[in-house]
Amino acid sequence: MRHLTTCLLLAGALAAGGRAALQESGEDLCGDCHSTGKVPHAHDSALLELEKDAIFCSCFMDQDPEALGMDWIVCPDCRTPSAQARARSEFEMEYGRRKSWLEERRAKVDKHAGEEVLHIKTRHFVIAWDIPKVKVDHQVLKAHEAMHLYARRMEDLYRVIQEVHGIGETAMHTGVYHLYLFESQKVAERVGGYVLDGIGGGGAKSLIGPNSAHLRWWRKEDLPDDERFHQALAHSVSHLIHNDIDQFNEWLAVRYGWAYEGLAHFIEIRLFGPPITWCHQETGGFEHWKGKDWEANVKKAVLAGTQPAFQEIITKASDVLTPMEHQFSWSYIDYLMWLDPKKMPRLLGLMKGPQLPVRDALQQAYGLTVGQFVDGWEEFVRTEYSIKPVKGPRPRAPRAGG
């Protein structure tokens, strides 16, 4: 929660207009609030540090029924009535805004979950959290702290995607995404039936568009620890963010499955290492083609001349891509991002707006024919990829001048 030190706020007000500007003619000055009508409302410093990046947090608000997390209240015995009245009006408006948000979340999620769920709102995410604890390395975080950790991680993901494409807020269609994260399958299904019209058999489901959302329950058999859950969530949320770049008429998954999946795998490999995720839209369980090192697999195929045809892969929806085609889809995106990541938003806009054929989108965004793309990609794989396996995250800098 964006807290400002109250004394600094008050000092700024006094410096800007002086006490006289905060009182009507003939009113007394108030020594308690310096005639601002506001006095500090203290919170524990450790709690403030946890809340610093949140706009709203249900846990923080529930612990503070008097002010719902605000860092000031109305001066109770103010000697400057006009200042007190202005402060009371401002307080009631902000208190009402916070209360309405909390009530909306309770009605939309908790009512259908059948239990109280934690909620947080940051700049770009609204998250419903119902995971009691998360073990991160050797530390066990309780629900409130774990929720904040994941909120920060999602904001970091948003920032990384913007940075690699060199874009700002104006490039995004909405810039707000709803996440529903649960430990229990039963609770997730109850909420999913209301907010997303059900939940996929793989434990997750997304809604992509003007009201993008992702719902997931923590299937420990697939995602046994925090690191893998984080990676799987980042894959899915990257779909929401990439589909939000530029205009939006249609999402990428059906007509441009290679771009839809390739971008998510690009984020996985850049931030985590070998991909682990098939989304709920995709059929079958996750499996690698030729092993976990995708770079080595693709290079070996190109050197042997056994790579699939780009013209064939780009005709497929995401739910029919094979494990091999997932790897080549990633490599196509990897090449375009190496060539010039700042042109990718234009490519996505042409796909999601007028929905141009891939050949036309490539020509308009990158100035490439399909033949030029294929030749350039093959040369990129030969010169930039390694056959020697590499563990961990693998960020790749764009080419010089790209």
Instruction: Concatenate the DSSP letters of all residues of 343-384 into one string.
Output: GHHHHHHHHHTT---HHHHHHHHH---HHHHHHHHHHHHHHH
Mean pLDDT across 273-279: 79
Give 118's strand partners: 129
185 and 292 both lie in a single domain: no
Instruction: Give the separation between CA 103 and CA 62, rounded to whole angstroms.
Output: 12
- Report pLDDT for 330: 97
Tokens of 153: 């991680």
| Residue 64, pLDDT above cutoff 80 | yes
Instruction: Give the separation between CA 245 and CA 48, rounded to whole angstroms.
Output: 33
Angle between helices 370-384 and 358-366 (to 10 degrees): 70
129 and 228 both lie in a single domain: yes
Q: Are 226 and 135 in contact (CB under 8 A)?
A: yes
**Cα angle at 359 between 353 and 364, to 5 degrees?**
60
| Residue 308, pLDDT above cutoff 90 | yes
Instruction: Give the separation between CA 63 and CA 382, rounded to whole angstroms.
Output: 59
148 and 172 both lie in a single domain: yes
- Report pLDDT for 15: 37
Domain of 194, CATH number, reads 3.40.30
Residue ending a domain, among 118, 143, 173, is: 118
- Report pLDDT for 208: 86
Phi/psi for 63 (5° steps) reads: -80, -5
| Residue 24, pLDDT above cutoff 80 | no
Instruction: Give the separation between CA 26 and CA 76, rounded to whole angstroms.
Output: 20
127 and 114 both lie in a single domain: no
Mean pLDDT across 159-178: 95
Q: Identify whether 1 is part of a domain.
A: no
130 and 234 both lie in a single domain: yes
How many domains does the chain fold into?
A: 3
- Report pLDDT for 25: 67
376 CA to centre of own chain: 32
Q: What pTM value is reported for the model?
A: 0.90
144, 179, 339 from 294: Cα distances, Å: 37, 29, 19
Residue ending a domain, among 103, 118, 133, is: 118
